[in-house]
């Protein structure tokens, strides 16, 4: 076993590097599981809206746990903001916190926690350096030491104050209305809690017990990382760990450049539209993405996208970078480790003052919508260059929904949910049904837990037939979820989209269905609502949300008849839609396909119905 504090360069070999990659990646996954097992709030323990990672001493991402692609670039950007503020003022027992979108953060509910991890400096003569917080070294000695790495966690918190419960409304018009901004600060200073900051947080959030419980889960994950790093230093030595972290990032860079070299050079531009920002109702907002591929590099340029908007859907640069990296990585042939090496060959351009890189005081609480839609926009550009590698549009990303208020004793309740469920049709398979969008990688909120923890009744949670875009490989089906309010009243906030711009189909596939918000469905008071809304929901009122369906891929008239028959049996496609969209004739219950009638109908439709374009915004019947 090497001396844990030995100095001098370490020679590595492929086997050692592979063992180290797996070991440090496992620490990241263990951090993720720690949050999952210890979190207080449903948005973490049920939906899993969080990430964890290890970074090197310069703030570069080395290993990210199995969590959210949406956080791919956010952790190093936030950590580097901390390092800019504190420089060498970093000691054992320090814990840093940050959520300010204009100083490294993304949106206020996402709180970052960073813990510096230490090993003894070379030549100090100490042995067996302890990386856990605290320690027996004199303060002057601890202050002189430099971190070997940082443990990093980011969690979406249930509430950080502001005008709307959940702090996630689309209709805030400046960040000052959205909640508590925490610049890079020390939450703990050499092991001592910053009691002023703790009191400030407690007095400005609606559910402090839940928020502090989730912060403790982040601290626990960082402690797991400290113990894991102690083991790595004991095995490889401090210099060895530094060398191997660099080797790991270089390895990902080599693989990324190799994969980019496999792709033909070219340039393509794609434009998609967000319905509106909830402030300027009915005014579509363009997202424009240009992909430029040259050799072993790629550029993702968002020039031409809308200026920053009044509503709270403006991105930070880090979130735009994450959506860009996610889209590009999905077309590469190798699944290399997520770290700084992946970022190096990919340049992201997001002009300041636009919806892809908002400037103060732009509101950004609901920026998730723009991120999800941005992935689909980048896919649209990539599909022009690499049509055999790119999915059709997803359901538009997850819908964010919050219902919050107070019971008769004025105890607060806040229910936060993120609903997603449909992938676009793929060049080799159907889009997934009931599966989170790839940019989110979240879980579905248990109906039983929703009802147990909140004054709500869930009336249905089901697929909506005929909503996936038709295609050789159809798009994923929409989901419907309906709630009844049991408390006297609460504030309902919804961040949704794709009610006026369908998820597009690709290579002759049809678009997915529109999304839908409905108040009191099936009742005399039934009312169709806007995609984005903030309103009071009163006792007994019912709210229904239907996700958009995802786009299809390829000509629906060439879809395998057996696949259509399976969808008919599963209730995902109706008899009418099977004939209209796929030229498949079926009768009975359960439906039985008439092969001869199907061949005749397909021949007639092939002769009379124009093929949909490579990017289809309107269904086949609308194009006739």
- pLDDT tens-digit series, residues 162-213: 999 999 999 999 999 999 999 999 999 999 999 999 999 999 999 999 999 9
Choosing from 255, 280, 304, the residue where a domain stops is: 255
- Over the chain, what is the mean pLDDT? 93
- The per-residue pLDDT for 9 is 56
Radius of gyration of the chain (CA): 25
pLDDT bin (cut points 50, 70, 90) of residue 620 is confident
CA gap 236, 487 in Å, rounded = 58
Backbone angles phi, psi at 18, to 5 degrees: -65, -40
Q: 121 phi and psi, to 5 degrees?
A: -65, 150
240 within a domain of the structure (yes/no) = yes
Packing angle of the helix pair 561-570, 575-582 (nearest 10 deg): 160
Indicate the range of 27-41, 59-73, 292-306 predicted with least confidence: 59-73
Burial class from Cβ neighbours inside 10 Å (0-12, 13-18, 19+) for residue 536 reads exposed
Please tell me the predicted confidence (pLDDT) of residue 337: 92
Q: Which residue has the tokens 């959520």?
A: 99
d(CA 369, CA 495): 7
pLDDT at 363 over 60: yes
Question: 395 and 247 in one domain?
Answer: no
Nearby residues of 531 by Cβ (< 8 Å), 6 or more positions away:
275, 276, 494, 496, 497, 498, 499, 500, 515, 517
Q: Which of 474, 473, 481, 466 is nearest to 568 (CA)?
A: 466
| Residue 107 maps to a domain | yes
585 found inside a domain: no
Q: Is residue 35 part of a domain?
A: yes
In a domain, 347, yes or no: no
The answer to whether residues 258 and 168 touch, using CB atoms and an 8 Å cutoff, is no
> pLDDT tens for residues 543-583?
999 999 999 999 999 999 999 999 999 999 999 999 999 99
Indicate if the pLDDT at residue 121 is higher than 70: no
61 in helix, strand or coil? Answer: strand
Domain assignment present for residue 443? The answer is yes
Residue 226 CA to residue 246 CA, distance in Å, equals 19
Residue 472 in any domain: the answer is yes
Domain end marker among 530, 556, 582: 556
What gap in Å lies between CA 342 and CA 443, rounded to an integer?
26
Give the residue with greater pLDDT, 400 vs 7: 400
pLDDT, position 230? 96
Structural domain of residue 414, as residue ranges? Answer: 391-556
The pLDDT of residue 488 is above 90: yes
Cβ partners under 8 Å of residue 503, min gap 6: 376, 392, 393, 394, 395, 396, 424, 469, 475, 511, 512, 548, 549, 550, 551
305 C-beta neighbours (distance < 10 Å), count:
26
Look at residue 134 in the predicted model and tell me its pLDDT: 35
Residue with tokens 């300010």: 100
Boundary residue ending a domain (255, 277, 309): 255
Tally of structural domains, the chain: 2
Is the residue at 265 inside a domain?
no
CA–CA distance, 270 with 524 (Å, rounded to integer): 43
Is the pTM for the entire model greater than 0.85? yes
At which residue do the structure tokens 């993702």 appear?
300
The answer to whether residue 6 scores a pLDDT higher than 50 is: no
* Whole-number Å distance between alpha carbons of 341 and 325: 12
- Contact criterion met (CB below 8 Å) for 175 and 181: yes
Pairing of strands 346-349, 297-301: parallel
């Amino acid at each position: 076993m090497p001396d844990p504090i030995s100095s001098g360069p370490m020679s590595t070999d492929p086997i050692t590097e592979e063992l180290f990659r797996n070991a440090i990646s496992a620490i990241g996954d263990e951090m993720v599981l720690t949050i999952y097992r210890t979190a207080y709030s449903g948005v973490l323990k049920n939906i899993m809206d969080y990430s964890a990672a290890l970074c090197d001493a310069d703030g570069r991402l080395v290993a990210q746990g199995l969590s959210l692609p949406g956080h791919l670039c956010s952790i190093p950007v936030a950590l580097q903001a901390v390092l800019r503020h504190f420089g060498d003022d970093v000691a054992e027992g320090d814990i840093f916190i940050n959520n300010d979108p204009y100083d490294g953060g993304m949106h206020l509910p996402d709180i970052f926690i960073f813990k510096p991890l230490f090993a003894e400096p070379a030549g100090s003569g100490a042995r067996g350096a302890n990386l856990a917080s605290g320690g027996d070294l004199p303060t002057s000695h601890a202050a002189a030491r430099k971190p070997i790495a940082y443990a990093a966690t980011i969690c979406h918190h249930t509430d950080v104050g502001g005008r709307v419960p959940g702090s996630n409304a689309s209709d805030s018009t400046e960040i000052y209305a959205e909640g508590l901004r925490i610049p890079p600060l020390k939450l703990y200073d050499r092991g001592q809690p910053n009691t002023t900051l703790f009191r400030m947080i407690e007095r400005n959030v609606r559910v402090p017990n839940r928020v502090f419980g989730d912060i403790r889960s982040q601290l626990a994950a960082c402690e797991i990382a400290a113990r894991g790093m102690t083991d790595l230093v004991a095995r490889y030595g401090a210099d060895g760990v530094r060398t191997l972290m660099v080797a790991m990032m270089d390895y990902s860079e080599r693989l990324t450049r190799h994969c980019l070299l496999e792709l033909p050079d070219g340039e393509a531009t794609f434009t998609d539209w967000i319905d509106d920002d909830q402030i300027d109702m009915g005014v579509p907002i363009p997202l424009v993405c240009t992909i430029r591929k040259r050799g072993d590099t790629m550029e993702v340029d968002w020039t031409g996208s809308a200026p920053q908007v009044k509503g709270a859907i403006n991105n930070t640069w880090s979130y735009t970078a994450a959506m860009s990296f996610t889209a590009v990585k999905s077309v590469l042939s190798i699944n290399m480790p997520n770290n700084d090496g992946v970022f190096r060959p990919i340049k992201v351009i997001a002009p300041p003052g636009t919806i892809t890189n908002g400037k103060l005081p732009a509101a950004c609480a609901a920026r998730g919508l723009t991120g999800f839609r941005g992935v689909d926009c980048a896919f649209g550009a990539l599909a022009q260059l690499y049509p055999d590698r790119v999915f059709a549009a997803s359901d538009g990303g997850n819908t964010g929904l919050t219902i919050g208020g107070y019971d008769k004793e004025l105890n607060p309740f806040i229910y936060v949910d993120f609903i997603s469920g449909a992938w676009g049709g793929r060049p080799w398979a159907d889009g997934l049904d009931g599966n989170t969008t790839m940019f989110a990688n979240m879980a579905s909120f248990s109906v039983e837990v929703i009802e147990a923890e909140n004054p709500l009744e869930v009336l249905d949670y089901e697929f909506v037939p005929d909503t996936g875009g038709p295609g050789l490989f159809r798009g994923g089906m929409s989901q419907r979820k309906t709630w009844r309010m049991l408390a006297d009243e609460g504030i309902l906030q919804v961040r949704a989209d794709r009610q006026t711009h369908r998820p597009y189909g690709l290579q002759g596939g049809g678009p997915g269905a529109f999304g839908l918000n409905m108040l009191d469905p099936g009742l005399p008071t039934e009312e169709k609502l806007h995609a984005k809304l903030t309103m009071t929901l009163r006792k007994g009122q019912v709210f229904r949300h239907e996700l958009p369906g995802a786009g299809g891929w390829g000509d629906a008239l060439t879809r395998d008849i057996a696949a259509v028959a399976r969808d008919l049996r599963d209730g995902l496609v109706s008899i009418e839609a099977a004939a209209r969209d796929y030229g498949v004739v079926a009768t009975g219950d359960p439906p039985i396909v008439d092969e001869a009638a199907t061949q005749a109908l397909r021949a007639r439709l092939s002769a009379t119905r124009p093929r949909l374009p490579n990017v289809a915004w309107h269904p086949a019947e609308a194009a006739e």
